[in-house]
């Protein structure tokens, strides 16, 4: 996985192509960056979307979307 790669976000069967804009050891960030806390954030191990406002995250939390590499 590298910055600039494209991934597919799957939200209830709706697919959206996203571009990887930032990476950490635990996160894949698309369309934003960690310093601004913007864009879509995904767990690097499971692909689960992380959204603090919705309470989404990797297990033991649940999520509404995930990425497909």
Domain membership of residue 28 as a residue range: 6-68
C-alpha–C-alpha distance, residues 51 and 57, integer Å: 7
C-alpha–C-alpha distance, residues 59 and 65, integer Å: 13
What are the beta bridge partners of residue 50? Answer: 41
How many domains does the chain fold into?
1
Whether 1 is covered by a domain: the verdict is no
Structure pTM?
A: 0.91
User: Which pLDDT score, from 0 to 100, does residue 10 have?
Assistant: 97
Q: Measure the CA angle with vertex 57, ends 53 and 61; round to 5°.
A: 100
pLDDT category at 32 given cuts 50, 70, 90 is confident
- Distances 33 to 10, 42, 54 between C-alpha atoms, Å: 20, 12, 19
Whether 50 is covered by a domain: the verdict is yes
Whether 57 is covered by a domain: the verdict is yes
């Amino acid at each position: 996985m590298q910055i600039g790669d494209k991934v597919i976000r799957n939200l209830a069967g709706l697919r959206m192509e996203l571009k990887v804009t930032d990476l950490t050891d635990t996160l894949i960030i698309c369309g934003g960056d960690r310093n601004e806390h913007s864009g879509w954030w995904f767990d690097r191990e499971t692909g689960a979307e992380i959204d603090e406002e919705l309470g989404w995250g990797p297990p033991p939390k649940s999520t509404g979307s995930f990425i497909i590499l």
